[in-house]
Amino acid sequence: MTDKTKLRLEKALSEAVENIDKTNLRPLLAEVHRCSAKCCDNRKNSIEQNKQCIERCSRKYDEAEEFVVTEFLTFFSNVQSCVEKCRDNAKNKIGSKIDTPESKSELNKKFEKCSDVCLEEYIALLPKFVKHIKKQIPR
């Protein structure tokens, strides 16, 4: 894969994470803090009751964050599988003749072309992927 395409994917992923954080996770986290503050303001609660109250406050955020992490790990795994398939396909097309500089160069060209296509496909999928995640996170 070329550095240019790799950087495009990294930038697109960074923007996707930032978008989800600002519009979905951060408001949930703010609610966790407001709710937790109410728990701490309640002087009638025992230490254990206060701890349980705070845990209840953070449950929705924790579940949302876990969901987002799991979805992104799956996305990364799919990208990696696509790139690995390109590597295997390039090796199979060239066969066992990778001992010459020309064949190594050809292998790299085939791999780069295929992996760039993979990354571009996943970059194109990101808006739909982000939309899917946002639908699943409660507000």
The conformation of residue 98, written as its DSSP 8-state character, comes to -
132 Cβ contact list (under 8 Å, min separation 6)? 71
Cα 130 from Cα 121, distance rounded (Å): 15
Q: How far is CA 21 from CA 15, 33, 35, 137, in A?
A: 10, 16, 19, 11
* pLDDT score at 99: 66
Q: How far is CA 125 from CA 26, 72, 120, in A?
A: 24, 12, 9
Indicate the number of domains in the chain. Answer: 1
Question: CA torsion 135→137→138→139, rounded to 10°?
Answer: -90
Q: What is the distance, to the nearest Å, from the Cα of residue 37 to the centroid of all Cα atoms in its chain?
A: 31
What percent of the chain has a predicted confidence (pLDDT) above 70? 92
Q: What is the pLDDT of residues 61-120, one digit of tens each?
A: 999 999 999 999 999 999 999 999 998 888 777 666 666 666 778 788 888 999 999 999
| pTM, two decimal places | 0.83
Range of the domain at 112: 3-136
Whole-angstrom distance between the N-terminal and C-terminal Cα of the chain? 38
